[in-house]
Structure 1
Amino acid sequence: MPNHPTQTGWLFTPEAKSELSAESAQDFFDSPGLFKTMIESIQDGVSVLSPDLSIRYMNATMRHIYADTQEPLGKKCYSVYHSLSAPCGECPSLLCLQTKKAQTSTVRYDRDGRESNWHQIFSIPVLNPKNEVVLIMEYVRDVTFQNKMVENMNALAQRFETLEYQNKLLADILKQKRQSEEELEATINANVEKFIRPSLEYLKKTVDPGNVDMVSGLIDEIVYPITKKRSTAAASLTPRELQVASLIKEGFSSKEIADSLCVTQKAVDFHRLNIRKKLKLTRDVNLRSYLAVHL
């Protein structure tokens, strides 16, 4: 069985045999061996030190942890517990000697090349009537698991902060990209309205208006990938008119469209007329050519 603490606690359950017998509960509490029996039975480590930090007593848990140390009693605690030649820098027992008050500290447990563990040590002074420290009781608890949990939580918190910062940075980049696209779109639209539209209106007075409308449609198609704004003329068509318009665009005749939609040719011609009206096309504009550009 390993003789050192694990991340989740001691790998040891003391099997202290009570030497007590009592006629009543009160007799049990009055028994002089009660204190020692309780100390021997708990799973946390307990040791008693002299003022010079020599070990006077170790409970069953401490004896189990340091079972590979020969005759630890009488030796310095820092030598047995930490393999050091001088007291630990964070030794709560030294502070306990100075203040004559209970002290606590969490110290690293490194021994024989094993994985580092952490002990929380509570040092409690035992005072004589002259208020002098005659003994120090050390209560040792393995807090390795808790410390590692805190370390993991801190690491996760740092990763979360990093991800949060990266997400914010990405959001700012996307926002700038959208702003740039909107500015580009606004510039293109402004240039089209300022320079191209007036030119087309002028051309309508001198050349065939139908051809000008065709050129206007081509311009709309050129700028559409950027502006995403098609002519709103097609939006005015009904679903049936859009069906007819799509078939006209593909080159189907009125009879073929009528057969495809299971309607009369007269109904198709009626839809053709409505499409031309809604698109405001004059007689000289070829409907199929117009739809090929605008639909």
Structure 2
Amino acid sequence: MVDNNLYKVVIDSMSAHVAILDEQGKIIETNRAWQEYGRQNGMRESFESIGINYLAICETATEHPEDDADRVARGIRNVMAGELDEFLTQYPCHSRDQKRWYAVRVVPYRDHNVHRVIVTHENITPIMEVQEALQAKEAELIRQSERLEETNIALRVLLRQREEDKTRIEETIYANVDRLVLPYLEKLLQGHLTEKQRTLLEVVDTNLRDIVSPFLHSLAALNMSLTPQEIEVANMVRSGKSSKEIADVLNLSVSGVDFHRKRLRSKLDLTHTSKNLRSYLLSLA
């Protein structure tokens, strides 16, 4: 008697809904949680469910061979037959105003060589809600990732288009300068000019040719902080102008031009070499 009372106390203390089935699948014992669930869900009598054939209910509730009731029924039979030591599954049990999930566990219960089973239904709703939230978050992250990838693709297309437009514009400018400007400069240079006018026109001619050549791009690629004055001096040195000619055109003293030459050699890392400044600048073209 003491053992039976202890047994009853133990199963009644469990939060899971517990039922013991006999070899035909009839309920011969339930715990308090099972009975309370029956009360809460509209059972008017027999909250204990004693005598109800639980296995038959599962089998008759089956609408499809692989639905939840069918899986539970087959699991109970497999445990009863000794084919499984334990059967586990989970199923939804939603009402109109509440979502609920349960985990079913079936284990054998040997009583005087009679094959009985213990069926427990554990409410796993909090766990499933967390899983649903995580799945929803994962799905949202996937959607965001896909949108980001689409945006990246669009940006790459725009950047490629921008580069193509830039190249096309540069080619147009180069072609127009070469075809529409330089020929007239050459004609001007063949005319009667003062020395200063000729030098200025030669500088203009050189600079325009630099626009359609990679010299300035190469100079910029060296990532040096050249001042506008130093760029002007570099252009004219590259064109073969002497310090005096450069000084006359830029309204500088010869010593000022020499100072810029020295600064250029320093920035071009030519200070400790014997390399000619003009030769180096020509090599950048």
TM-score by length of 1: 0.55
Unaligned runs of 5+ in 1: 1-18, 21-30, 221-228, 239-271, 279-295
Distance verdict in 2 for CA 1:85–1:35, change over 3 Å: same
Do 2:11 and 2:18's aligned partners in 1 also have CA atoms closer than 8 Å? Answer: yes
Do 1:45 and 1:62's aligned partners in 2 also have CA atoms closer than 8 Å? Answer: yes
Does residue 76 in structure 1 map to residue 57 in structure 2?
no
Query: What letter matches 1:74 in structure 2?
Result: G
Percent same amino acid among aligned pairs?
10
Partner of 1:145: 126
Query: What letter matches 2:227 in structure 1?
Result: S
TM-score by length of 2: 0.56
Do 1:78 and 1:86's aligned partners in 2 also have CA atoms closer than 8 Å? Answer: no
Determine which of 13, 23, 32 is the counterpart of 1:60.
32
Unaligned runs of 5+ in 2: 63-68, 190-197, 212-216, 221-225, 230-249, 258-285
Q: CA–CA distance in 2 between the matches of 1:182 and 1:53?
A: 77
Residues 41-52 of structure 1 aligned to structure 2 (within 5 Å): 41-52=13-24
Q: CA–CA distance in 2 between the matches of 1:34 and 1:128?
A: 17
Indicate the RMSD between aligned Cα atoms, in angstroms. Answer: 4.0
Does residue 107 in structure 1 map to residue 91 in structure 2?
yes
Three-state SS of the structure 1 residue aligned to 2:70 is coil
Report which structure shows greater RCO (CA 8 Å, sep ≥6).
1
Do 2:106 and 2:117's aligned partners in 1 also have CA atoms closer than 8 Å? Answer: yes
Three-state SS of the structure 2 residue aligned to 1:147 is helix
Residues 193-204 of structure 1 aligned to structure 2 (within 5 Å): 193-204=174-185
Three-state SS of the structure 2 residue aligned to 1:101 is coil
Query: What letter matches 2:170 in structure 1?
Result: N
Query: What letter matches 2:104 in structure 1?
Result: I
Distance verdict in 2 for CA 1:147–1:66, change over 3 Å: same
Three-state SS of the structure 1 residue aligned to 2:20 is strand
Determine which of 230, 236, 252 is the counterpart of 2:227.
236
Do 1:47 and 1:55's aligned partners in 2 also have CA atoms closer than 8 Å? Answer: yes
Partner of 1:25: none
Structure with greater helix percent: 2
Q: Kindly tell me the number of residue pairs found equivalent between the two proteins.
A: 200
